[in-house]
Structure 1
Amino acid sequence: MAPARPRVVLVGAGHAHLHVLRNAAVLRAAGVEPVLVAPSTFHYSGLATGVLSGALTADRAQIDVAALASHFGVRHIAAEATAIDRAARRLRLSDGQDMIYDALSLNVGSVTPDPYHLTGQADVWSTKPLNSLACLKTRLENSICSSRPDPAIVIAGGGPSGFEIAAALAGLLERNARRPRLHLVWKREAGWGPRRATSRLTTALQRRGVVLVHGEVVERETGACRLSDGRSLACDMLVLAAGLSAAPIVTATGLPVSSEGRLQVGPTLQSVADPTVFAVGDCSVMEGSPRPAAGVFGVRAAPILLHNLAALGGGGMRRYRPQRQWLSIMDLGDGTGLAMRGRFWWMGRSALALKRRLDLDFIAAMRAPSGEVLQD
């Protein structure tokens, strides 16, 4: 009897796992059986604010994961992982199933931290998961169409996500000929980009009606939110955008994680404490090479992950070396963007045009082509 193929369960359909799906034949040729556990639709974070601002329709930022898996002959379970028993190599799924694995690969993205337990209260949204932003957009559009006054919106978080969400919401209101009533609340000066770039961005947002407030939102009240220093801001809608942390399933592994809950991995993308567990993207961080949660790292790590998962069937593994500088581009919701790479930056329509080309090309490359299912 032929020996059983090692089974690798891919948890999540992030940037890297989409690449693995498209190259599943490499795994099968190496004697490895891939199984995908993920929701049926992938919401691409790079275009989320473009959709929120009304510049793009929602379908342009989505990938049919079920169709992609089917086309490339990968078994797909439309569920989420809820618990991991590493001793038994068993994965518990949200649909009640248990899945046995030989190796596990996590590409589950990130969530928005909520230290004051504001999520779930009336008219509170978070930047992650991304479907929350779709609900926010619908709620705001319904408000715009009503005869009620424009809502007061507070964005809690002064990192790149907070600034980009503020710009996107301003763009949505501007497209509907409304004057934004937006407050962006941040705890400290923006240190995530070149000083002149963040200064120019701040000025641009203020000119568009965004009010910047130093502080921290700690409580939701009826028609308002309270800051840590006791001040109160008018607030009909609250958006949580204070950074990113790894999804809870990462902590549930019981493996070493960073202060943001990201799984600590080595250069082969394996956990530093369990070689059967791989992780890429926002949910992981490499020892000695900390990097922010950004899609570019998942994209660059994808070929290394594919090779190393195939090596489970026999062969040596490769090492991933993350780049020291990377391009990030913010969509400012008004037809312009802010591009940054190291100390170099520029703001304008050309920056957004470059972002659109890169993002839409990625979406097009990862969508399942028409035709027959590819399977060995």
Structure 2
Amino acid sequence: MRQSDHRPSAAALAQAALRRERPSRTDLLSVLSWPDAELLELVAAVGRVRRRFFGDRVKLNYLVNLKSGLCPEDCTYCSQRLGSDADIVSYSWLGTEETRRAAASGVEGGASRVCLVASGRGPTDRDIDRLTPAIARIKEEHPGVDVCACLGLLSSGQPERLRDAGVDAYNHNLNTSGERYADICSTHGFADRVATVQRAAQAGLSPCSGLIAGMGEGDDDLVDALEELRELDPDSVPVNFLIPFDGTPLAGHWELTPQRCLRVLAAARLVFPDVEVRLAGGREIHLRSLQPLALHLANSIFLGDYLTSEGGPGAADLETVRDAGFRVQGADEPSLPAHRLDLVRPRRRGAGTDRPPNA
């Protein structure tokens, strides 16, 4: 396809993002259908946006799986779902010392954010109580390191309890567009997810919400999801690529290519020019040898393993960062640009806490 009036230039898209202008739906659809032969041009142009707001920094995040399997929800993409036959290890809550040790190994590897994740519909107040000592130990031993919780749907008052326990951020992904959410889950709705992200933000937790690509969605669905995420104004946006686990309804659903993944990341960066875009689950198996190119679009990655699947060795992740010409972000460095922190801090204080965020 020749450059024509049907498609904006990569340079024009990047210039608009540098001005933090919202891309049009037509622009995003153009990015998602960008020709493979011209993909390097798109990555180079959008990479300027990533460099402008995040320099040469790559934030490392480390995931601690607090509770695995036995989930009552039926999300079709998840190996822990109700009725899953996936070959995974199931266990109840890790103890305080186990959680502390796991977090420490991630921080020693260079992570500046520890993500505490538990399967289930959502936490009980007792669950939050049992997690509180571990959060305190992590914060005591690793000053400056963020703690992000991902525990499912939150009820009234729970975000405030997590905040008071020392949690800095809360992750709850929208995963797909509202219009097709019922295609991937029947035990809760899209509005439930939106409400949880909003509750977390209102309580002063840094909101983290993203999507999963490769679940059979079309370009319009991806654009819808990105635009709905933007309405939530998250501080970080994880972009996951479906791992089609055996034993789940999406088993064998291999539709992504490395080039498709790069286009999805480019679209996410254009929608979120000054927000942390995280290269998350599935990057190793779908991007393969193009992972270094993806770092020119995303400024954050998970280090090591995920929930029920193995990632690459931590040393290999660090090597990829260096080989791509980037460096690991220190725990004392802010994750967001100064102008965005100026907007975030008052919002956090207005939520009822004077504790400045480790954004």
TM-score (norm 2): 0.28
Q: Which has the higher strand share?
A: 1
TM-score (norm 1): 0.27
The structure with the larger Rg is 1
